[in-house]
Structure 1
């Protein structure tokens, strides 16, 4: 089953977008995308499009920066021992590496320490501080943690350890009594950018210590910033732009080794590569072993050691993937075994023995699957260690703060959190969070949404357009790659690709324009998609380079059947049998152009006793295409409103029309979402060809009737019919009527007399003759357009009519 998603075409202030486009001399689409990202004045938009190193903020705008820098400089001058106390995720590992390398370059006596995820847990802990004091450290600098460590900082103070906290997480109501706190989110901090990652705060400390932007650490800054999903706007955008530039131009040994093991050597590295290739491998160290391996990788100058460490992390990442896949299946089984959990709005899933290092990854996958805020808990010895992920509309940190009495420890932000809890309190936590969610989440909030920046016409897209959009890169959290909607595309190919058919590959077209697409981890949906001849897509446009060729592709987020689906069923040998089969599956609206078809259609639609009952409606089209009240068949319940002015749902064109005008008039009544089946086939062609012969006999037949009339001088229609085979009887009346109209004969009662004084005239001068000729030409056009056309052409012709109608309605 395909997960339902809400497609939301985001509104844009067209006036502001147009003004920006003109002032910046950029394309209208760039103007819209800038407005969508909150950039509504030319100066801020210009800074976004043209990043500048000079726009890094003064680090001393951050509260306590002067105090912290003075203490660090004193420690360096006095050769005090400094401990950088880190964290085990990618942000923590890069923060640790950056702070360690910066202090080392300044001549500090510095070491780093990262707590063991499994033995010590997240953040500062008392025993580690005691050990630091015993080992002779005088100053501890936390990176990416410490803002909530009130008790631990008190222990440090009691030990005589000076402690500087550098962090970016949401501060609690009571701050720790540290020597200095560097966190742009803390009360009273005037720093302009509140959304730095932990590595961003560490970078600002290095900038303050060096007195300039520390270029050599930009690569570490971008790695941690992107991996921690910090929004890529404001100063984070600068870190991303120049950090990626450094990775691509001059990667440090550890980065180079990561490129090699990730298969990215020689490629232009983007923020996406960091998120999907670098970040997971750095995180794998702390999830399964110790994050010190990741820090060593990022700080070593030894290329051989870097490659050895990168190989190790790559192996651990593969192992992490296997563990998380197994845990995900177990978590799904746990949820399916408790269907009542899905009646609520928050999932709390707990099990003994789950690997605490990957529960956050699995929680994210559960959110993808069930689209609910999800708390994943690993239980060991009566305690649960948890990781939580949220959805839009549910502030995780605030909600968990309302349950803080249940936790041993918790911390986090709007979309993610970590915590520990006693096992016996898990049930109460589930109940309380669900009550909170009932108040803030609507049923609609539980349907995942896709924000769409703009709807595009495939015919208007080229490589130059995609390159223009890429001016907004690097893309990531806070500056997502623009999503576009493309509608009414013909599905040319859809197939699973990759290992075990995990991914889905598309090719779609609109007239001459074609577009390839890929959807990751969606290969199982291939059979479903192949049921749709036309699709709408939402995704991100990119330029694909393969064997020296550049082409556009779409990285797909979602797809759905286009509202207009046309199926060519003209090949069906037995129309009645086909109609019987469909009648047992769905409600049908069947359009007949000939009254002779009604009895055949009605018999086919009568349900068998063992079939599910459906409601079917049969319409007869008049010559002008208008539909009368339908004949209803079946005793089921139909959701389709009965209305002679429109058709929707599953609509069948059963036979051939009298004219293309009649056919097009019926198509104009299709509205909303519908599937149109073209069922007219060979038997209908035979009927029309027969009608053409009946409509107008050959010229020699006219000559023969005139000769017979001349021989007798006068005759009735009946007299002439007696001399002909029955198949020609109807034609005699037509011929005589034409003769009277042209003056070749005079009618007196039932008798026709030859008018010998009449001049020669062409048969085409008769209005009746011309009418019959026009009907024959109409039938010929019907056969040519609706029967002789190939399947592709027949469907394309119908779609062209329907699209023109839709576009005309939008224009009106």
Structure 2
């Protein structure tokens, strides 16, 4: 699709001393992302927000400390995505590190139970005979499930980060930075970050009551779990505010030093990556998908066991199984994406035009053969292709009486609020829903699909205008010829952590095309010459729209990320092309 490259407008605040030590291209990138002080780039644990700022954390700590001290049974109820898996692992490992004698976990199978602490899951949970249930990465909407647990005499501690509804569950304690009345500075904290903070405060509570002294053991170093926190934070695509950047950077440093969990190191290894050069993007695009594949196609317990495993050999065996599941997921995704493209063409056939203006602004797609575990990825892919909010649906049962939907949004539309507006206007259309500004999940009745599709499109059209549907690539400007080298690429790679709302820098420039050829059937390999210079640079665009038309490319404007290509011990600059257009 046609895109527009727009360069960032950088304000010029008065900068503190020390900025002259940073290369100009990196200085521009930081300033464009709102960093005005070098202190903001000091990703030390001392600069983390304290757990005491979290509403409900003290109450949660007291309940859990009492359970630890009296050897009560604790059950962690997690979610079936990467944030949920890492959250579950942090909770289980931290509780055991602090002396809890009976800690188990339960993750609902998405195909049987769906999301969250439902009454049905409480029925399963009671088989573990827990005294306390701790939800991680879920629970803020589990009013009925918490009520069911209360009736059984089970205390529930909710730890979550999703946006709350109008009613909060009647839990013994709720820790969620987005709950009413919470002044925690980082509203963007992922589920794994929330439970990390709860465990940190639990350690304080146990210290103050003399628990560690009684056991004659030292306090556990919870920083050893930051590799899990970094993985869950990046994989959940939460905004990387300053607090999240500290958590992620500290976790990445542990991974690069080889001090990560054996399961994380194994997942990196089976993907063919070197943990010593790991970047935040590798957590999102390499490790996260392999872990998520378990929850999408099978049972997330496989992924959690990989993260909990202390034996490197066993961890590798599990990682290989996860890699197989990820390959299977890719195949299913490819088939669904091809089918979805046909459905979009059918939506557009009325005018026999490929003009995207003819498409719904809020696009709903559904087929009864689609896999429920892959619709989130499908929605994301179609959102990227057509640059509009997309909801992909799949059957929740064999008879298609209920449909599960996964939504992905674009800047300008808060997807959960949009669903809330649909639910307010049409109370019968949505059985349940929840999520964030950019992603959400929902359940609807199969008979309501057409009505819901129209209602969703109507709300989206009210919230957006045509300019929102124009795909824009925001560039950090042009790199000078002397900046186009391996040193620049390596500096940028380690200058993050980059992620949501703190995006890795993208640059643009005009190049002469010396050679353009297709590799892997759908990727475009380029040899580019810097305009007005004798510098030749390799570039690659994955899944290129120019495949089959590459001979037309003579001079191009390219939006790219500098990267290092290493082959047989030799490093060279390679441009990872985000978009190119003929000029």
Q: Same fold (TM over 0.5)?
A: yes
SS at match of 2:287: helix
1:189 match: secondary structure: coil
The CA deviation at 1:295 is: 0.5
Question: Which residue is 1:276 aligned to?
Answer: 285
1:164 to 157, 169, 172: 157
What is the CA distance between 1:22 and its match in structure 2?
6.4
**Judging changes above 3 Å, is the alpha-carbon distance between structure 1 residues 268 and 150 closer, same or farther for their aligned structure 2 residues?**
same
2:55 to 51, 60, 63: 63
Following the alignment from structure 2 to structure 1, what is the Cα–Cα distance between the partners of residues 18 and 263? 45
1-structure distance, mates of 2:313, 2:176: 37
Rounded to whole Å, the distance in 2 between the matches of 1:425 and 1:506 is: 52
Q: Cα offset for 1:516?
A: 1.4
2:261 is matched with 252
- 1:36-51 map, 5 Å: 36-40=32-36, 42=37, 46-51=38-43
Distance 2:190 2:240 in 1: 10
CA contact (8 A) 1:115 1:121 kept: yes
1:367 to 383, 392, 396: 383
What is the CA-CA distance between 1:501 and the residue it aligns to? 4.4
Aligned mates of 1:110, 1:254 — CA distance in 2? 20
Relative distance call for 1:266 and 1:470 in structure 2 (3 A) is: closer
Give 1:480 shift.
1.2
Higher relative contact order (CA 8 A, sep 6+): 2
| 1:173 Cα deviation after fit | 2.0
Q: How does 1:651-800 map to 2 (within 5 A)?
A: none
Query: Deviation at 1:134?
Result: 4.5
> 2:230 touches 2:251 (CA, 8 Å); kept in 1?
yes
2: distance between equivalents of 1:238 and 1:477? 14
Q: In the TM superposition, what is the alpha-carbon distance from 1:228 to its structure 2 partner?
A: 0.5
CA 47–354 in structure 1, closer or farther in 2 if over 3 Å, else same: same
- Which has the greater radius of gyration? 1
Aligned mates of 1:12, 1:441 — CA distance in 2: 26
Separation of aligned partners in 2, 1:35 and 1:441: 29
**1:357 aligned partner:** 373
Aligned residue pair count: 551
Partner residue of 2:345? 336
Is 1:224 matched with 2:245? no
Q: Classify the secondary structure of the residue corresponding to 1:553.
A: strand
8 Å contact from structure 1 (residues 537, 556) kept in 2: yes
Q: Which runs of 5+ in 1 are unaligned?
A: 563-812
Distance 1:87 1:330, change over 3 A: same
How far is the alpha carbon of 1:281 from its aligned partner? 0.7
With the length of structure 1 as denominator, give the TM-score of the two structures.
Answer: 0.66
Determine if contact 1:493/1:508 at 8 Å carries over to the other structure.
no
The offset of 1:297, in angstroms, is: 0.6
Aligned equivalents of 1:87, 1:323: Cα separation in 2:
22
Contact 1:21 1:31 in 2 (8 A): no
CA distance in 1, matches of 2:90, 2:507: 38
2: distance between equivalents of 1:168 and 1:460? 41
Q: CA deviation at 1:157?
A: 1.6
State how far apart, in whole Å, the 2-side matches of 1:149 and 1:459 are: 56
Bigger shift: residues 84-93 or 537-546: 537-546
Alignment of 1:498-537 (within 5 A): 499-510=520-531, 511-522=533-544, 525-537=546-558
Matched, 1:93 2:85: yes
Give the Å deviation of 1:391. 1.2
| Structure 2 counterpart of 1:81 | 73
Q: Secondary structure at the match of 1:402?
A: helix
Residue in structure 2 matched with residue 806 of structure 1 by the alignment: none
Structure 1 residues 182 and 503, CA, compared in 2 at 3 Å: closer, same or farther? Answer: farther
Match of 1:233 in 2: 241
- Picking from 477, 483, 486, the partner of 2:500 is 477
Contact 1:49–1:472 under 8 Å retained in 2: no
Partners of 1:125 and 1:97 lie apart in 2 by 21
Match of 1:113 in 2: 106
> For the Cα contact (< 8 Å) 2:524–2:547, is it kept in 1?
no
Distance in 2, matches of 1:374 and 1:368, equals 9
Secondary structure in 1 matching 2:182: coil
**Is the alpha carbon distance of 1:12 and 1:300 closer, same or farther for their aligned partners in structure 2, counting shifts above 3 Å?**
same
Q: Quick one: distance in 2 between partners of 1:314 and 1:465?
A: 32
Q: Which deviations, in whole Å up to 9, do the C-alpha atoms of 1:54-103 show, x marking residues without a partner?
A: 11221121111111001001001111111000000000001001101111
Q: Distance in 2 between matches of 1:50 and 1:365?
A: 35
**Equivalent pair of 2:75/2:128 in contact (CA under 8 Å):** no
Change in Cα spacing, 1:258 to 1:343, as seen in structure 2 (3 Å) is: closer
> Could you tell me which residue of structure 1 aligns to residue 192 of structure 2?
199
Q: Hey, what does 2:6 align to over in structure 1? A: 8
TM-score, length-normalised on structure 2?
Answer: 0.90
CA contact (8 A) 1:10 1:451 kept: yes
Q: Offset at 1:462?
A: 3.6
User: Are the equivalent residues in 1 in contact too, given 2:513–2:526 (CA < 8 A)?
Assistant: no
User: After alignment, is 247-256 or 127-136 more displaced?
Assistant: 127-136
2:311 is the counterpart of 1:299: no
Choose from 138, 141, 149 the match for 2:134: 141
Rounded to whole Å, the distance in 1 between the matches of 2:82 and 2:131 is: 27
Q: Does 1:179 align with 2:172?
A: yes
Q: What's the counterpart of residue 394 of structure 1?
A: 413
Structure 1 residue 466: deviation in Å?
Answer: 3.8
Q: Is the 8 A contact 1:507 1:514 kept in 2?
A: yes
Q: Secondary structure at the match of 1:273?
A: helix
Superposed CA offset, 1:483-538 (max 9, x none):
11112x211111112x334353443333212221111222x514434313211111
